[in-house]
A and B are shown apart, each in its own frame.
Chain A
């Protein structure tokens, strides 16, 4: 069978592949990728041999850092993050849960001081059994990842 590319090849930038279908838009918004002003190609519900359906994001001229890639692990632990230079993969990030995550999610506790003050949100991340728990640095409340990691 002939293989056809559904998303155009990237000359320089970052490809985030194998995102679980449905999470692509969340990632775009939470990581404010569109605000980079760079050209972004998004594929949603593409067919995948391993995942059934997947999303993919290509951002031109932006090389995701190790830290940013690890933050992705919260939504898409099996995503592959490849940094491309001149059509070649120059770095493959292996995703690991970050120890802490700053400024991305708001604290779900509405009485947490972090909401009305000049600080970034800050969570300590801990894998526990099958869940990922996030503890707010300020109010010290512990939440399941699914409660924190939603687009508000």
Chain B
């Protein structure tokens, strides 16, 4: 029987069942332990970045090539027919007639969903505006499972910009399928949006809104840090909140031994460099895991069985 993600579009985390998330995470683990170079042999993947991205694009392209597949595509929408006014619908109809799957990033929200309606091959969302970035969530889940041995009943703190951070929203939705407990640590102006809190309420998931980073450090298994963007505040406001959401090595003394610090990167100054040397730092390994999570996803979408 074909795996449940075979030939499926990968657009948004709420589309996934718990079993499908587990399948990707397990497959990523297998591919990390035992690398394969044959799973995409003879497959051609379209890599369509209508908006530039370094990490996501490079890790997708690494994933495809390491699995023996080939890539066509572009790294910047500025050089494509989109610039001439072609609709995304038309572009995708054509690209999907060339490739076996299309990985895409686009500056507009909903672009991947729309593309999936016009594509003859699976579309994998590599980020659509401020909406979804499902492969980031998959690599986060893989990293959490790798460090904690399970996804069940974990306690997670999200810190920083919880309002605009799409990775935070998707990861919250995904972890709530596994009975997580959340702490949200953010300046008032960047608090978790109501619709996410309402979803958690509906599911009966416990969450606490906290204003001090120190208070949550001893309580959590995962500390998920995000960047507070300077441009969202005026200068004095920014100075006032800046120090409150910075993690330094000396603050980690009270942390559980299994506690890991994650960050979708790039970090600026919200995690000081001295944290890198502590056993809690895991963000660079997390970024490396992006390749395995994307390998897992591509393998499952393009092969009946892996």
Q: Which residues on A are within 8 Å of B, measured CB to CB?
A: 109, 111-114, 116-119, 128, 136-142
Contact = CB atoms under 8 A, between A and B. Distances in A.
Contacts, number: 54
B175 to A, nearest CB: 18
A142 B128 CA distance: 16
Contacts of A112: 108-110
A103 to B, nearest CB: 14
Given A118-B87, A118-B89, A140-B132, A113 B195 contact: no
12 contacts: A109-B109, A111-B107, A111-B108, A112-B108, A113-B88, A114-B110, A119-B114, A136-B110, A137-B110, A137-B113, A140-B14, A141-B131
B114 A114 contact: yes
A116 B86 CA distance: 10
Q: Mostly helix, strand, loop or mixed at chain A's interface?
A: loop
Nearest to B129: A111
Contact of A140 (B12, B89, B106): B12
Given A111-B129, A114-B114, A119-B89, 10 more contacts: A112-B110, A113-B108, A113-B110, A113-B113, A114-B110, A116-B87, A119-B117, A137-B110, A138-B109, A139-B131
Interface of B: 12, 14, 87-89, 106-111, 113-114, 117, 128-132, 195, 198
Nearest to B106: A113
Q: Mostly helix, strand, loop or mixed at chain B's interface?
A: mixed
What 5 pairs between A and B have smallest CB-CB spacing? Answer: A138-B110, A139-B109, A139-B110, A113-B110, A113-B108
Given A111-B129, A139-B131, A117 B109 contact: no
Contacts of B89: 117-119
A113 B14 CA distance: 19
Contacts of B128: 113, 139
A139 B107 CA distance: 11
B227 to A, nearest CB: 21
B104 to A, nearest CB: 11
Contacts of B114: 113-114, 117, 119, 138
Contacts of B110: 112-114, 136-140
A128 B195 CA distance: 11
A118 B115 CA distance: 11
A139 B132 CA distance: 9
